[in-house]
């Protein structure tokens, strides 16, 4: 389902992988039971492959790692948050189109 360049993150390694990333990092907060999350999954995979080396693309299962989504006030999934240098650059909720995600990523490059 996910592209080969998508990294799974958890509460345990979120700070290391996302906040301390040398590149902008897009986090897809999702759950296996969420239909819109599954719908957006292939797009996340495409972006991970297209932006490999420039942007880190990650997925966090909110059921397995509830602390981080709680910290960022995530109430609905999928929610995608773009981080750069540990700070939130942009955030979107819902199964949005690829063009909207590309525009979001471009803000951080």
Burial 25-45 (b: 16+ CB within 10 A, else e): bbbbbbeeebeebeebbebbb
Q: Which residues are catalytic?
A: 34, 37
DSSP assignment of 86-105 equals TEEEEEEES---HHHHHHHH
| Strand pairing class (25-30; 56-61) | parallel
Q: How far is CA 75 from the centre of its chain?
A: 15
Contact 83, 25 (CB under 8 A): yes
């Amino acid at each position: 389902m996910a592209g080969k360049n998508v990294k799974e993150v958890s509460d345990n390694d979120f700070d290391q992988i996302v906040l301390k990333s040398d590149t902008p990092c897009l986090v897809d907060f999702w759950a296996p039971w969420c239909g819109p999350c599954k719908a957006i999954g292939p797009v996340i995979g495409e972006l991970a492959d297209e932006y490999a080396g420039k942007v880190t693309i990650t997925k966090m299962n909110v059921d397995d790692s509830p602390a981080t989504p709680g910290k960022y006030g995530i109430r609905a999934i999928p929610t995608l948050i773009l981080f750069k240098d540990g700070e939130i650059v942009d955030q979107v909720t819902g199964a949005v189109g690829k063009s909207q995600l590309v525009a979001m990523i471009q803000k951080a490059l």
